[in-house]
Structure 1
Amino acid sequence: MANMIIKKQLRSISLPSRSQPSTSGLEESLNKIKTINTTTGSSESILMGLAGLEELYIFLEEFLKMGSTQRVMSSGGSEFMEEMLDGSLRLMDICSVSRDLMVETHEHVRGVQSYVRRKKVSGGGGGDKIDVAVSDYVGFRKNMRKEAKKLLGSLKKVDGGTRTCDNDHEDEQLVAVIDTVRRVVSVSVVVLKSFLELLSRRKSNIKSKLASVLKMKKDNHAPAKNVLETLDSAIFGDFLSHDDLQNELEEVEMCIGGFERNLEGLFRRLIRTRASILNIISH
């Protein structure tokens, strides 16, 4: 369903100064994200989606700085710019809180890695410390799910905001600019929704995990890898050997670090986008 929405949102339109590098780059970035299916819950695809958003907002900033775009928006896009300012604030808040959650997750991963190394060296000692680590992580994951659900609620308001104003302006160029920016926002919502659903998901039980694997095999797809589910399994001791556990934790750390960096990059780009909108309003 989400993919159908993206396809609909990413239709080609007539943009002002279409030959401009920023305009063509914007379209290419939109199309690139279009090919990434983040709705599978795969950590890898969501990482790619977030990285794609950071690139997309670089081109959006350039697009907003174009003289033709600024003239069009200044002449009749005041209501739309207020919508953009509200949406940008919500997206910035979502990115900021999500980034902080990833920073804290990173700390838990390092803590578990440290205990695993000590346990391997001591031959099974340090059980009390591992119990404390598990207890701390359980509390953190509970808070993460709660925060993710709140952020999903905020994200719905961003998505709804992109549909409240009808494109009934007489100026076709203004309609094209509004449609372009709204497509950027809609794609952002799809990717961030997939990421937040990843955070809010509970550890799969054996039956649901087996059913998922069998379905993916039947559809000739590899099972989607959920990095947080892997971390949950590591925390609760579902791995048979220390080597397997260490390998998985190293992969988890790389992925969490990627989420952290991409969210930080997107947050900074959203700040710059907001500054561009405020600049148009002030002039």
Structure 2
Amino acid sequence: MANMMIKKQLRSISLPSRSHPSTSGIEEALNKFKTTNSNKSSSASILTGLAALEELYDCTDEFLNTSSTQRVMSTVGSDFMEEMLDGSLRLMDICSVSRDLMVETQEHVRDLQSCVRRKKVAGGGDQVNVAVSGYATFRKNMRKASKKILGSSKTIVGVSSSYDNGQCDEHLVAVIDAMRRVDVVSDVVLKSFLEFLSGRQSNIKRKLASVLKKKKDHHEETKNELESLDSAIRGDLCFCDYLQEKLEEVEMIIGGFEKNLEGLLRRLIRTRTSLLNIISH
């Protein structure tokens, strides 16, 4: 159901009929999502998406702090500003929870790695069994938390009919379109990340293409690194080198996720501050 909601809301977002010089930086950053070179929601494509979001929010904050943007945004109604603030808060919450999940995952993975190494040197499997049980329980809770966020996420609204391109200032329309597209792309990337954690099949390129009006691509279903580790544990391979290999793969991607989510959260906070400054002035 979450996937259907995402597809529906993305179809409701249309690109502006014309761009404005003031939004060129954001347009350029958004265009980079078109070059996502993975045809599935792999860890690599999600890491690329998160890194691209960091760059996008650097451009967004620069955009919000220009005098021309501040001037035109001060003329929009309170409904739009509330929409932007609500969106920023929602994205901050998702990013914060996701980062915390990565920190906890890293702790469990390193604990399990340590137990496996001690097992190979000194023997005895009790500690490994306890660590495996703890990780399996955590993964179950992680999937539940991810699905809960996906299920409770609000639908992003499309361009409001109260802002008619033919009746409003061109600059104002460009600002509204740009900010909403930033919100939608951010939502898509973070939801794809949550689907990665929950084990749902996802396609970040297909969803981003819907936002950016690019042709959809087919994708091949495959297990991600977390699911491969789950399979290793369920397959009673806890004392094999295979498990250690899968733990190393997970540790690597989790470290990347944690770093990018932390960087993105800082930028989301900064953007929210810029929005609040515009309102207060």
Query: In which range does the TM-score fall when normalised by the shorter chain?
Result: 0.7 to 0.9
Q: Does 2:18 align with 1:14?
A: yes
How many angstroms does 1:172 deviate by? 2.7
Query: After the TM superposition, which residues 122-161 of structure 1 pair with which residues of structure 2 at under 5 Å, given as runs?
Result: 122=122, 125-155=123-153, 157=154, 159-160=155-156
Alignment partners' CA distance in 2, 1:151 and 1:24? 33
Alignment partners' CA distance in 2, 1:220 and 1:53? 24
Query: After the TM superposition, which residues 100-115 of structure 1 pair with which residues of structure 2 at under 5 Å, given as runs?
Result: 100-115=100-115
Give the TM-score of the pair, scaled to structure 1: 0.80
* Deviation digits for residues 20-52 of structure 1 (CA, Å, limit 9, x no counterpart): 5xx333212211113327782311111111111
Aligned partner (choices 230, 244, 247) of residue 246 of structure 1: 244
Q: Structure 1 residues 183, 28: CA separation in 2 closer, same or farther (over 3 Å shift)?
A: same
User: Where in structure 2 are there 5+ consecutive unaligned residues?
Assistant: 202-216
* Deviation digits for residues 103-136 of structure 1 (CA, Å, limit 9, x no counterpart): 00011110111111112113xx331112211221
Alignment partners' CA distance in 2, 1:234 and 1:112? 13
Alignment partners' CA distance in 2, 1:132 and 1:61? 46
| Partners of 2:50 and 2:261 within 8 A in 1 | yes
How many angstroms does 1:14 deviate by? 3.5
* AA matched with 1:130: V
Alignment partners' CA distance in 2, 1:140 and 1:11? 41
Q: Structure 1 residues 227, 171: CA separation in 2 closer, same or farther (over 3 Å shift)?
A: same
Give the TM-score of the pair, scaled to structure 2: 0.81
* AA matched with 2:81: M
Q: Structure 1 residues 87, 146: CA separation in 2 closer, same or farther (over 3 Å shift)?
A: same
Alignment partners' CA distance in 2, 1:49 and 1:225? 19
Match of 2:80 in 1: 80
Q: Does 2:277 align with 1:282?
A: no
Query: After the TM superposition, which residues 135-214 of structure 1 pair with which residues of structure 2 at under 5 Å, given as runs?
Result: 135-155=133-153, 157=154, 159-160=155-156, 162-163=157-158, 165-169=160-164, 170-201=168-199
RMSD: 3.0
How many angstroms does 1:65 deviate by? 0.9
* AA matched with 2:187: V
* AA matched with 2:144: K
Alignment partners' CA distance in 2, 1:88 and 1:181? 11
Q: Structure 1 residues 184, 202: CA separation in 2 closer, same or farther (over 3 Å shift)?
A: closer
How many angstroms does 1:166 deviate by? 2.5
Q: Structure 1 residues 199, 110: CA separation in 2 closer, same or farther (over 3 Å shift)?
A: same
How many angstroms does 1:56 deviate by? 0.6
User: Where in structure 1 are there 5+ consecutive unaligned residues?
Assistant: 204-218
Match of 2:90 in 1: 90
Alignment partners' CA distance in 1, 2:10 and 2:39? 11
| Partners of 1:119 and 1:126 within 8 A in 2 | yes
How many angstroms does 1:199 deviate by? 1.2
